[in-house]
Structures are given as structure tokens and as C-alpha cells.
């Protein structure tokens, strides 16, 4: 049987909102299961409205946040038990939204690359580290010569994000987790960064989790799409099937409302109390917005239906027929 690169099983994370006495609990990530193939490098896009749990998922996978329950396996290893920071950093690297926050303005950018090459990239001395930095920078369209002696303020956002990607590549990871990596990049440079993910996948066999508000780039770049709604994974499967034939009514709604380059949901919208309450509903969380909802949807929780095209959908009445 194929060993998965990443396997997430029934993962949940609860937060308490409000103060200790009057506060309530909410499930920011609610029973999410998904996996990334170990055989074929894959780009998985995680999409969903602001506050649906994307960053919480990313932080759990990056081991920055402890889940409340569930399992997390990387190359078959239980990351919640057999966790070694060094071996983990070899395998999984993050790329954050704001590249200017990843570097200090008082430190030359090349130092970050050199340090990474010495600590995690197998370089035994400075000249090997420079060589590794140059190789990684060339794969993102830069070179050691171009960054040499420069500070972060001397780069554009797009260039600096490419340096962040180069730094991640130095450790030869198997998985890069990029949380909103193009949100702060000029529109003209967004596609350039997103295209890099594709070429890195193909050239180096690295998989990506690409978290984004920008649905058009998600559909363009990804092999698989996971759509979150109020902490639940409501549809997961090959991007092409989801794009052509959404199975969940919420995904159908998204398909009808988006893809133009740069279209996205509004950032940082404050959720109403009613919306926050939806995180903890004991029936389908989308029922109140769903034009196909039946009595069953308003009274019980749906379970994942497996469809014939490696897709799962959290819905009593998927729009695409179930596997027999």
C-alpha cells in the first residue's frame, strides 16, 4: 500500500472564545481528514472564507499548535508522538504571507540562506553553503550574486517571497506549506510566484499546501482542493473534478461566484454571532444557506460521502452521485 506523505485523520482544534467564566468553546478545525500522496508530488490548495480554520490547520501541520484530537502522520510517522524538530524541518518548510516579516532589516538576506544550508542543508562549510544558496536562488529566478550584500529593504515583495522559497528549498523538503503567500504581493507578480510552485513540484518533486483566499490561483495551480466551511472540510478531491462538477452545494456556490484572477473573499471580516455559532452546530453547518437542504440537514450531521473520483463530500445530498 502507498505510504502517504501526509495523513491527517479526524483532526480537531478547539478554542475558547470570551473569558473563562462566560466564554464558549468553538471548533476552529472540526474532524478534518485528508491526505497527500507519497508517490506523486502534489499541490493541495486549502480554500475557504476568512475564519474558516485554514491557518489553524497550517499551524497544526507545522507543529506550531497542538490539536485537541486526531492524528497527524508524515511519511507514516506519528508527528504528535515521534516528533524531532530537526527531522521535521528537513521534511516540512513554511512560507508565510508577509515576506518582510520573515527577514530582519538589519541582517543581510544571504545570511539566512547560508545559516539554513549549514544547519539543515547538509553544507559542511561556508563555500558549500554559498553553492547551495546559489542553486536554490537560481531555481526561483535569482542568484547568489543578485542577493549578495543586500538587505531586505532592497527587494520588492515578490523578490523577497522568492528568496523565502529559495530558503525553504535548501533543506530539500518534501512538503512546503504556504499560508497566503501571494496575498501581499503585487497583482502582476502573483502568477509568477504561483507558477514557481508548479515548476518546483515538477523539477524537485516537492508537494505544496497552498492556503489562499484567491480562488482563481487556487484552481489554476492545484492538483487537489480542500474547501473548509466553519472548520469542517466540506469537499476534498481533484481540482479538475471539483471545478467541472462540484459536489457540495457550497462549492457549487463558489464556482458560480468566482474565478477571475485576484478575486477573493473579503479579508478579516468579523463574523456575526450567528456565524460563530455555526461552528458548533450538531447538524449541517451550511443548511441555513443551502437551497437543497432537507429536514435531515437541519437535524443531523452529515458524514463524508465518497464519490467515484477520489473525492469526499460532507453532504447528505451531494450534487454528484456517490460511489456504489
Ligand X SMILES: Nc1ncnc2c1ncn2[C@@H]1O[C@H](COP(=O)(O)OP(=O)(O)OP(=O)(O)O)[C@@H](O)[C@H]1O
Q: Rank residues 147 and 228 by Cβ distance to ligand X and give the closer one.
A: 228
170 binds ligand X (CB under 6 A): no
50 binds ligand X (CB under 6 A): yes
Yes or no: say if 127 and 202 are a contact pair by the CB < 8 Å rule: no
55 binds Mg ion (CB under 5 A): yes
Stretch that binds ligand X, among 44-52, 125-133, 187-195, 312-320 (CB under 6 A): 44-52
Cα 292 to Cα 89: distance, rounded to the nearest angstrom: 45
Binding-site member from 4, 9, 14, 15 for ligand X (CB under 6 A): 15
67 binds ligand X (CB under 6 A): no
Residue 276 CB, nearest approach to ligand X (Å): 7
Cα 207 to Cα 210: distance, rounded to the nearest angstrom: 10
Q: Rank residues 57 and 320 by Cβ distance to Mg ion and give the closer one.
A: 57
What string marks each residue from 253 to 282 as x (binds ligand X by CB under 6 A) or -?
Answer: ---------------x--------------
Residue 114 CB, nearest approach to ligand X (Å): 32
Q: Which residue is nearest to Mg ion (CB)?
A: 55
Residue closest to 135 by CA, chosen among 103, 170, 159, 161: 170
Q: Supply the DSSP symbol for 167.
A: H
Total residues at the site for ligand X (CB under 6 A)?
13
Q: Could you tell me whether strands 69-74 and 77-78 are parallel, antiparallel, or unpaired per DSSP bridges?
A: antiparallel
Yes or no: say if 302 and 316 are a contact pair by the CB < 8 Å rule: yes
Residue 12 CB, nearest approach to ligand X (Å): 12
56 binds Mg ion (CB under 5 A): no
Yes or no: say if 311 and 321 are a contact pair by the CB < 8 Å rule: no
Q: Following DSSP, what letter does each residue of 290-302 receive, concatenated? A: -TT--HHHHHS--
Task: Return the C-alpha cell found at 16.
Answer: 475558547
Stretch that binds ligand X, among 52-60, 165-173, 219-227, 287-295 (CB under 6 A): 52-60
Rg (CA), the chain: 20
Task: Return the C-alpha cell found at 103.
Answer: 527577514
Which residues would be at the binding site for Mg ion (CB under 5 A)?
54-55
Which residues would be at the binding site for ligand X (CB under 6 A)?
15, 17, 28, 48, 50-56, 213, 268
Amino acid at each position: 500500500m502507498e505510504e502517504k506523505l501526509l495523513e491527517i485523520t479526524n483532526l480537531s482544534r478547539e478554542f475558547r472564545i470570551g473569558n473563562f467564566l462566560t466564554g464558549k468553546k468553538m471548533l476552529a478545525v472540526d474532524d478534518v481528514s485528508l491526505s497527500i500522496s507519497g508517490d506523486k508530488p502534489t499541490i493541495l490548495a486549502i480554500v475557504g472564507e476568512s475564519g474558516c480554520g485554514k491557518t489553524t490547520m497550517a499551524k497544526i501541520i507545522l507543529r506550531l499548535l497542538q490539536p485537541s484530537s486526531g492524528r497527524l502522520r508524515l511519511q507514516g510517522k506519528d508527528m504528535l508522538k515521534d516528533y524531532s524538530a530537526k527531522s521535521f524541518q528537513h521534511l516540512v518548510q513554511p512560507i508565510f504571507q508577509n515576506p518582510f516579516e520573515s527577514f530582519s532589516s538589519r541582517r543581510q538576506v544571504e545570511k539566512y540562506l547560508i545559516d539554513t544550508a549549514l544547519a539543515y542543508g547538509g553544507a559542511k562549510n561556508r563555500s558549500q553553503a554559498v553553492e547551495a544558496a546559489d542553486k536554490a536562488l537560481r531555481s526561483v529566478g535569482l542568484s547568489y550574486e543578485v542577493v549578495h550584500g543586500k538587505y531586505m529593504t532592497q527587494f520588492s515583495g515578490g523578490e523577497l517571497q522568492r528568496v523565502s522559497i529559495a530558503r525553504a528549498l535548501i533543506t530539500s523538503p518534501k512538503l512546503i506549506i504556504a499560508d497566503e503567500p501571494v496575498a501581499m504581493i503585487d497583482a502582476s507578480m502573483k502568477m509568477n510566484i504561483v507558477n514557481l510552485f508548479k515548476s518546483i513540484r515538477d523539477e524537485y518533486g516537492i508537494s505544496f499546501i497552498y492556503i489562499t483566499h484567491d480562488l482563481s490561483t487556487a484552481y489554476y495551480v492545484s492538483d487537489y482542493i480542500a474547501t473548509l466551511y466553519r472548520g469542517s472540510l466540506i469537499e476534498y478531491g481533484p481540482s479538475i473534478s471539483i471545478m467541472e462538477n462540484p459536489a457540495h452545494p457550497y462549492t457549487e456556490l463558489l464556482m458560480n461566484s468566482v474565478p477571475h484572477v485576484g478575486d477573493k473573499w473579503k479579508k478579516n471580516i468579523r463574523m456575526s454571532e450567528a456565524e460563530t455559532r455555526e461552528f458548533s452546530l450538531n447538524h449541517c453547518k451550511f443548511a441555513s444557506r443551502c437551497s437543497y437542504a432537507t429536514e435531515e440537514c437541519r437535524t443531523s450531521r452529515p458524514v463524508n460521502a465518497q464519490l467515484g473520483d477520489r473525492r469526499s463530500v460532507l453532504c447528505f445530498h451531494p450534487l454528484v452521485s456517490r460511489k456504489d
